Chains A and B, each alone.
Chain A
Amino acid sequence: MSRLNMVEGLNLALDQAMAQDDRVLVMGEDVARTGGVFRVTAGLLDKYGDERVIDTPLSEAGIVGTAIGMAVYGLLPVVEIQFDTFVYPAFEQIVVHAARYAWRTRGEVPASIVIRIPFGGGVRAPELHSDSPEALFVHVPGLKVVCPTTPVLARDLLLAAIAHPDPVIFMEPKRVYRAGRQEVPEKAPLALPEANGEATLLLSSARVARLGEDLVMFSYGSTVALCCEAAERLQEERGVSARVVDLVSLYPLDVESITRAASECGRALVVHEAPRTAGLGAEVSSVIHERVMLDLEAPVGRVTGFDVPFPQFANEDDYIPSTERIVAGALKVLDF
């Protein structure tokens, strides 16, 4: 057991997967010699060699496309997309092929690849290094989309994603990469090749990040911590007990956990950094209204990024939901 940050947790997962199963390989831009621009793949080249830890040309459609071919042959590629917006050139490969290979081969050959995408703002990055494109993938049938929030979840979910037969879009909130450390048990939560659906369960379960009963805030990625901060303030300033649920799985949604929390609290708010329209907030809100509307005291609220390009970083704190905006959004739901 050691105290790891998220980057180290992800690195541990890759190391454990590669040690357990020699079909696993890592590929992407600058992943081998430098260990990735965020160092998530550091040390793997020395341990596993350049046949399994591959610096590729700067070519995202080529990276994802060749990874699909490798998966058809039976390997388990883990692809790194260097930054969120860099995934757009690979969009066709992901939507048209990765997402449909199982369907097009009557279940025989799912494209068992993991596409890791560091995403989101808050790190003072240059233009086009801070997008939150997860809803684009949530909308594509055939993909699983997950987002870890803690070092332990990062390790466990990445191992589960590698073990899982369906293609997984693995969203890594880059603001959380080095935000804190946590004890990560050395023992892996599952062994490759996968045993009996453990991976599926891990990949589809929301978790409670903070207990509370007057209001529930649903979020994922870097805004989970902000929701927890906002909850503390609501407690101090208003005596409100706010629960925070970390969605973890963006597709499929853990509908049962979401509706249970909404029913129990009676008031709900969804918080994310991605733009508002047709974002995850819209889906979570619909799921709640469709299923448990009569348990609600107020309509489900949303605090999100805006329907604008992610700003130059001088203004990113205006764009990203702040604790102030979250508190204000929560009060609107509470005072409805």
Chain B
Amino acid sequence: MPRCYEVGVDDEMLVKALRAREESAFRLLVDEWTPLMRRVARGHVSTDATADEVVQDTWVAVLRGIDRFEGRSSLRTWTFRILTNIARTRGVREKRAVPLSSLEPTVDPARFRGPEDPYAGGWKVFPVEWPSPEDAVVEVERAEVVTKAIARLPERQQMVITLRDVHGFPAAEVCELMDLTPANQRVLLHRARAAVRAAVAERYEEEGR
């Protein structure tokens, strides 16, 4: 699916089209954002059904509000802000702090030299270099491994890496959408990226053995 931000459809055009009641514009946004909105909503409320209602109510609010949209933020920022505001009015889901396990290393300590070694904390063996994703076959395969690795992540890590790296939301916006401190956002993002990197690395390290 082409992303509307990538195919060069800008906010101004979209807002104009929505105000003109053009269904194609609405369809483009619905296709692009709804699955992600559902996941963000699900982070705030306790059931899938409630998340679906939140998404539905958000789109209604977007349509009703579009004539008053002033463009001080992007249309996406505005829409997701409406979403989290609606979700919070329904939100009963208990928020957990980033668990202590977040302080555990993200790379297996066995990969590094022990404390008695003069190069304590240095790599025992350097990470194996990967073939370049500029090769189309490598790119397809890499994308597959990354997709699967993201799908296996714990929920909040998955949400953060999806918003940040897959959809390109800025850090501050992710903090706002997920009620995270900047430091916790980075912890979750780092753990997620490290796990995804490890999944790709595993593939090439097996090969090298």
A, B: real partners: no
Give me the interface of A with B, judged by CB distance under 8 Å.
none
